Structure 1
Amino acid sequence: MIAKLKQFLKEFQDIPDPQQQAHSINLAAACMLLEVVYADEKLDGAEARLLPEVLEQNLGISATDCSTLLEEAKRNRNNATSLFQFTSIINENFSLEQKQQLVLSMWQLAYADGELCRYEDQIIRRSADLLYLKHSELIQLRNRAIENPGH
């Protein structure tokens, strides 16, 4: 009886707090977007303006929450060892459409300064691969970003 109670309590403790889980998902998405922004090692003004807008649109968060999330994402991004730690969270929690929207936003950020750096391209392609998106989807999303930058 005590063993069953201990097992129940352990399982109960393992249930993640929904608010914390949502924050972790948003943080992973923000970190992925920052990887693109900082791929060329400079934050262009157009990228800096577009980033909060993209986050608010993709994640449905307020401007205040977006600002706080970006600060935390900048700290986490520096400690990241690979994109996998972000994409694994996204894969577990995003629908196909949400993943596509995230990659579209990555392309929009990459083209925001008017030029695509090869490192931005590599990060987006690697991310799309880790998110299990088809190559044809990746190209369609890139073309949409080129045709409608920032939207």
Structure 2
Amino acid sequence: MIAQLKQFLRELQDTPSPEEQAHQLKLAAACMLMEVVFADEQMSGAEAAILPELLEKTLQIGSAEADALVAEATQRGQNATSLFEFTSIINDNFSVEQKQQLVLAMWQIAYADGQLCRYEDQIIRRCSDLLYLKHSELIQLRNQAMPH
């Protein structure tokens, strides 16, 4: 009985609060955008300028929170082992429309510096697959983000 109670208390401590869960979700989305930014191993001025703006729009957050997420995602992304750790939390919490908005933001980041590198393209395609979006959705979102 005491062992079961200790186990129950341990599980309660391991369960993040709703605020922590919401932050982890936002951080996962920010990390996915950072993956695109650093796909070509450098952040251009255009990418740095558009990133907080895209986070604000995609996640409906303020500019201060967006700036904090960029800083945290930059640090966290360097320690990430796979895209799955980000996409799994997003799959559990985002609607299809929210996933599409995130992938659209990824394409917009990729095109921000005026050129799409193959690594940016590969990361966005991999993320789209991990988010269970259709290929036709991926192409439609890319076309939407392309500079005209």
TM-score by length of 2: 0.92
Tell me the residue number matched to 1:138: 138
Within a 5 Å distance, the mapping from 1:80-95 to structure 2 comes to: 80-95=80-95
Q: Is the 8 A contact 2:40 2:120 kept in 1?
A: yes
**C-alpha RMSD over aligned residues:** 1.7
Q: Is the 8 A contact 2:31 2:77 kept in 1?
A: yes
For 2:113, what is the secondary structure of its paired residue? coil
State the one-letter code of the partner of 1:140: Q
TM-score by length of 1: 0.90
Structure 1 residue 19: Cα displacement: 0.5
Identity of aligned residues (%): 68
Tell me the residue number matched to 1:37: 37
Matched, 1:101 2:79: no
Q: Is the 8 A contact 2:111 2:147 kept in 1?
A: no
Within a 5 Å distance, the mapping from 1:53-92 to structure 2 comes to: 53-92=53-92
1:79-98 Cα shifts (integer Å, max 9, x gaps): 01110110011111111000
Tell me the residue number matched to 1:25: 25
Structure 1 residue 5: Cα displacement: 5.2
Tell me the residue number matched to 1:120: 120
State the one-letter code of the partner of 2:61: I
For 1:38, what is the secondary structure of its paired residue? helix
1:31-84 Cα shifts (integer Å, max 9, x gaps): 000000111111111111110000011111111111111111111100011101
How many pairs are equivalent? 148
Partners of 2:4 and 2:138 lie apart in 1 by 49
Matched, 1:50 2:50: yes
Partners of 2:80 and 2:99 lie apart in 1 by 20
Worse-superposed segment, 139-148 or 33-42: 139-148
Partners of 2:139 and 2:39 lie apart in 1 by 20
Partners of 2:7 and 2:33 lie apart in 1 by 40
For 2:146, what is the secondary structure of its paired residue? helix
Distance 1:12 1:109, change over 3 A: same
